[in-house]
A and B are shown apart, each in its own frame.
Chain A
Amino acid sequence: MTDRRRVLRTTAFAVAALTAATSLFTGQSIASADTVRIGYAVSKTGPNSAGTGITTIPNYVLWVKDVNEAGGLKLPDGSRRMIEVIEYDDRSSSEEAVRAVERLAVQDKVDFILPPWGTGFNLAIAPLMDKFGYPQLAVTAVTDMAPKFVQRWKKSFWFLGGGSDYSKALAEILGSAHKSGQINNKVAVVSVADGFGIDLIKSARPAFKEAGLELVFDKTYPLGTKDFNSLLTEAKTSGADTFVAFSYPPGTFGMAKQSKVLGFNPKVMYLGVGVGFPVFTKIMGPDVAGVMSLGGVDPNSQDFKDYAARHTAATTNSPDFWASSVTYASLQTLQQAIERVGLDRDAVAKEISTGEFDTILGKIKLEDNQLRKLWWTGQWQDGSFAAVSPNSRDGASSVVIPKPEWSQ
């Protein structure tokens, strides 16, 4: 009896293992010629899944839905092909991300690969994308090294600027507010000890100095910090009119809430990633007014309003006000490049590099494979996160300093 059960068990195990092995190595190449295969490996689980879930995945889903509902991707000869999606989870591990891209390129032989979320993961897959000849439209990768990467990986495109772009724009706003007497020259800065925070504070220090500002308080805090009371109290007593936090969610949310509780009400409050998330307005209520951060949108842009409505309908969440619309615009860029030159990846890369595209961000044209026409600073005004820098660009709102007092 036990022997028979043992045999059964072993057989079951062997069969399972064999099935696993065969389907693993043969792959499911049920590619039909009349679809365009688009693959992506993103962090559905693990520490990166929060950012991926807000900015990256919803836009991929929305774009595929938009394209397929319109009858598919348009090709130069006027025919249309539906998009077939192949998606993997990199589990927030670089090694998994690398292997998933190898799988997409070699096993699944997809036509195009969409990038993962985060600077580190975009860089991890960049050499492979280059090797296999796939254009890489990196959006959620803020890096000052982009011009160098473009030299190294000719088909890589960088859509979100570098840390110094954002900190210089902020320094400019603060510098001119100081000159016109709206704020004193003292600035208190905290930054998260993480790639993003360090990048920004490093470029902010010289930029602030150049703008005639004095850093009276400058501390970093570890990723995952929940209690900001002592940091905020010190910033409050530092005499600075301006509080800047290069922070990550959920730290951004915690800091905003705790500032209210402490009655810390600086004339300028600039917080990091998370201020542009839809949930921030729910956390802060009417007190979002005047809070500043990276990114921003043109609140009067009909394109953005339509996009936000479609995004909300398709994914039940509204888009964030920084990288979401840029992500969608990068996909439109890919779509229009395919429409003009077809599915040949070299030609598509060349078209993205040199062409002009009509997107929800308006007409865009890359410079040296980078999108430079971006909003660097935004501020919550009248219920939307309005772009305030660069202020010379069409659609920019003017910055409000000092920000309104906390309501409660």
Chain B
Amino acid sequence: MSKKFGLFGGLLGLLAFAPLVFEDYGLGLMIGIVSYAILAQAWSLFSGPTRYISLATVAFYGVGAYVVAVLNEDLAYPLILLIAVGTGLVMSLAVGIATLRLAGVYFVIFSFGLAELVRQLITWYEVNVSGTLGRYIFLPFEARHIYWMLLVLAGVTFAIAWWIRNSRTGMALRVIGEDEDVASHVGINITRTKLLLFAISASLMTLVGAIQAPRWVYIEPSIVFNPTVSFLTVIMALLGGPHRLLGPICGVIPLFLLFEWLSANFPNHYSILLGGVFILIVFLLPKGVLEFVDRFRLGGAAK
């Protein structure tokens, strides 16, 4: 066990030196990978065991970015991050209480609508109350600072994911995912457990948005609430396999690099190729990369 921890810590430490090795573009790639790794891991935290497909990722991500945009001139940076987490937490609790009783496809639809709802609320507020739309973030951060902060957050996220898997809560969640009726019969407080996980997952997503926002300088609702972020998160997590600790990261790295390569080399056919890649993934790896590797390694015995 301690060996695994040592390995994990060592890997993070090694990654921390990336800014010394890569030039700006490489670092930009690393930022993208780490931020999607956190998003996918946070998404799997809740959606993996419960099997609730959430498309609300960008709602929290965008709120995090917005908190930074609103407060960046008035408060110290650590305080802003705290407020961002707090906002994500409160929002996810409010949303969770209202919706986690919804089942299956209704939850998917609601979570997709949530991002649009938040975006319209912020727009309404900015137009009618503050009278500006579009805010500036001038924080003295360079790419490497953002990268380091994201790396720390990634460490925290993986630690939380590992801890939950090995705790009673994780066990309870898996039971809920298998069969809610059984779960309630064995005395699991279903709503409370789901709510807890939803809130943790959402707070992490909020932080990713908050940390990444200084990279964009200018923010408006249509920029930060881009639904693509939600979709990519889901696809990456599903490719890797959301039921496993290392699943999400195994989906993020290949897909992120693939997207990057496609958009660099085929700027005019990107969307078509992307669709083709998705179809291939669903046909070739319906259960995720890790499952596939296992099946291959065990020579079909897993069947």
Interface residues of A (CB under 8 A from B): 2-3, 6, 9-10, 13, 17, 20-21, 23-25, 28, 44-45, 47, 87-89, 91-96, 98-100, 102-103, 105-107, 119-120, 123-124, 126-128, 131-132, 145, 152, 193-195, 197-199, 202, 220, 222-223
* Inter-subunit contact B223/A23 (CB<8 Å): no
State whether B223 touches A94 (Cβ < 8 A): yes
Q: Find chain B residues with CB under 8 A from A105 CB.
A: 24-25
Which of the residues B123, B222, B267, B296 comes within 8 Å of A47, measured between beta carbons? B222
The answer to whether A198 touches B228, judged by C-beta atoms less than 8 angstroms apart, is no
Per DSSP, are chain A's interface residues mostly helix, strand or loop, or mixed? Answer: helix
Contacts of B29 in A (CB 8 A): 99
* Contacting residue for B300 out of A2, A94, A103, CB 8 A: A2
Chain B residue with the shortest CB-CB distance to A88? B267
Total CB contacts across the A-B interface at under 8 A:
123
Is B107 among interface residues, defined by CB-CB distance under 8 A? no
Q: Is the CB of A20 within 8 A of B126?
A: no
* Residues of chain B with a CB closer than 8 A to A120's CB: 134, 218-220, 223
> Which residues of chain B in 140-162 are interfacial with respect to chain A, using CB atoms and an 8 Å cutoff?
none
- Asked if A119 contacts B218 (CB within 8 A), the reply is yes
A99-B28, A99-B29 known; A13+B216 contact, CB < 8 A: no
**For A13, what are the chain B residues with a Cβ–Cβ distance below 8 Å?**
284
Residue of B nearest to A20 (CB): B261
Name the B residues within 8 Å of A198 (CB-CB): 126-127, 131-134
Contacts of B32 in A (CB 8 A): 95, 99
| A residues in contact with B261, CB < 8 Å | 20-21, 23-24
Is B264 in contact with A106, judged by CB distance below 8 angstroms? Answer: no
A366–B25 alpha-carbon span in the complex (Å): 32
Is B267 a contact of A98 with CB atoms below 8 Å?
no
Contact check, A94 vs B216: say whether CB atoms are below 8 A apart.
yes
Complex interface: chain B residues within 8 A of A88 (CB) = 263-264, 267
Determine if B300 and A195 form an interchain contact, defined as CB atoms under 8 angstroms apart: no
A102 near B223 with CB under 8 A, answer: no
Whether B264 lies near A44 (C-beta < 8 A) is no
Q: Is B25 in contact with A91, judged by CB distance below 8 angstroms?
A: no
Take A24-B261, A99-B29, A126-B217 as given contacts and tell me if A44 and B133 are in contact as well, using a CB distance cutoff of 8 Å: no
| Chain A residue with Cβ nearest B222 | A47
